Structures are given as structure tokens and as C-alpha cells.
Homo-oligomer: A and B are copies of this chain.
Amino acid sequence: MRGAMMHAPGDVRVVDRDEPVIEEPTDAVIKVVAACVCGSDLHPYRGVEPVNGPTPMGHEYVGVVEQIGADVKNVKIGDFVVGSFWASDNTCEICRAGYQSRCVHAVLMGTLGAQAERLRVPLADGTLVATPGQPDEDLIPSLLAASDVLGTGWFAAVAAEAGPGKTVAVVGDGAVGLMAVLAAKQLGAERIIAMSRHEDRQRLAREFGASDIVEERGDAGVARIKELTDGLGAHSVIEAVGTQESMMQAIRSTRPGGHVGYVGVSHDVALPGDELFFALVHLTGGPAPVRRFLPELIDLIWKREIDPGKVFDLDLPLEDAAEGFKAMDERRAIKALLRP
């Protein structure tokens, strides 16, 4: 089959790869209907993370079940399924508490390479959620978004305790930040401040529910958030970048007693203990347990109550995966969908 591999920073190629097979009785193999390029895929692409030899790429996927292992009970051949970027058993104590991304048996899907024609999904019963039927074509981008960026933005909004009466600020205007705006809106936030200096992303943020746009960054961005919140800071702040500057911007934009939900993968971040201490905020984040939210998100998409698929502004055949990476790296695209 064909699949995308990263050979070195900046070097993504679609090549022939071995067909995945059932390796464990809990596996499924799906025919990938759509996959995409993640902001975190840009970390090795940009050399921020090492590339240790040719690596299969992609961890976001929707598709149709083609094979199942002997122990798989919750999905059947022919089901259209959405899965998270972490495979999880969904039965261990950590999963049952809602933290499936740290399942005791968690497998990172990125190591398997979802930007391909087929994908082996470990722990299929715990990982995959079947849609109520075969989706209309126009729902596919939204269902794909649920696999990571929507689920991650949703977790960030939940972690930040976005909800009625709350002012929410979102640091980061990438796909996850934009999805967090949508999530905050759905969760009933009163006011949603998107921090962005790009006109196309500002427009999308407003479509997803942002009431205010702040273009300033760093200290100036913090000062602007304080101005908009009677000098107190936002109740809920979502961090969707992962740098030292963005984390400190998020923490400093939060009022005492407020909540920071952070989902940007941390790179070279060190949080100063004294500042964090006196900030008196709640800090929650990490790899999003998307599986917790999938049934609810699929339901909202199926009923057409949300349209997160709008975050894909580039739609390419799988063969053009390299262009998807390039367009996102150059910020010509917010998020690239790939169709095998």
C-alpha cells in the first residue's frame, strides 16, 4: 500500500509500505478514508524533534473496518469508525477515570502511520468508535477533526473549565486553538477571546464563536486580556502552542483561581515555581484523552450542530502529502486533509 514517510526534516515522501495485518487478537485493520497533517507533525518536519530514520507519519484517521482480530467485539467489518491518536483499552482504571491517553496499555498511533491506505489499530474495542451509519461525504472532514484537533481543543476547554458565565481566552490560532474556540462556545462560555494576528484565522475563530480578537502577544497580549476583564484576567485560558512564551502568556492571562487548560506539546518549557505559586491558578493539560469525548463529538457532528471540518482549508490526495506538510509549514494552510 501507499503511505507517507518522513525521511528527514523537510523530507516527506509517499512510498510503498507493507500492508498492515492483524498482529494481536485485539487489533483491527481499517481502510483509511481520510487522514491529515497535524501541527505536531511539523515538529520533526522543522527539526524541533529528531527524525530517527524513515518514519511512518500521521495519527489522525477515519475509515472503514476491513479486518478484526478474534477478540474484537465493539466494532465489526464495514463499520465507519473514528479513533483517537492514542490507542487505549478503555477498561483500565485510568481509562475509566477519563484519561485514555495515559491508558496503562496506551499505544501512540503516530508510530503506525495513519497517512496511508490502511492502518492497524491496536486495542480496537477501546480505541474505535463507530458512527451511526456510513457518513455523508460532507461530514468526513468533521469526523476526522474529532480524531485529534477537535478532541484536543475540547479537552483543553474542559480542562480550562470553559462554561456559562466564563470569559475564555485562547492562546494559539492553529487548528487546535480554533477547535478550542468552537468547544468553548459549545460549552456555553459567555465571552471567547481568540489571540491571533492572521486574518484568515481570525475569521474562522469568529465563525467558531470568538467574540473578541486580540492581536497582541506576550506581555502586551496579557495586558490586553487584563484590560478586557476588569484587570483580573480571564476565568479560563486555553494554551495551544507549547512554547515558553505561550505558556507564560496563558498563565499570566488567567485570574487568580482561574483555570489553564494546556494542550500545546511542550518544547523547552520550564515553568518558574515562584511565579506559578503566586499565580494561584489551576493548571491542567497534556496529551488529550480524546476517546473520552468521541461519542459526544460524533453525535454533535452527526446532528450537524457543529462543523469543525471547516478547519481543513487544504484537501489533497494522499500522494501529495509532501505539499500538505509544506503548506502548513509555510502557514499557507491551517490544516491539510489527505485522501488515500
Contacts and interface: CB of A to CB of B under 8 A. Distances in A.
Given A232-B93, A282-B282, A102 B257 contact: yes
A284 B282 contact: yes
Contacts of A231: 104
- How many copies make up the complex? 2
Contacts of A286: 256, 276-281
A287 B282 contact: no
A264 B97 CA distance: 28
A interface bracket (residues with beta carbon within 8 Å of B): 35 or more
Contacts of A273: 242, 244, 247, 266-271
A257 B94 contact: yes
A10 B257 CA distance: 35
Interface string A244-271: 1001000000011100001001111111
A93 B230 contact: yes
A285 interface: yes
A283 interface: yes
Contacts of A302: none
A265 B276 CA distance: 10
Contacts of A285: 277, 280
Interface of A: 93-94, 97-99, 101-102, 104, 230-232, 242, 244, 247, 255-257, 262, 265-274, 276-287, 289
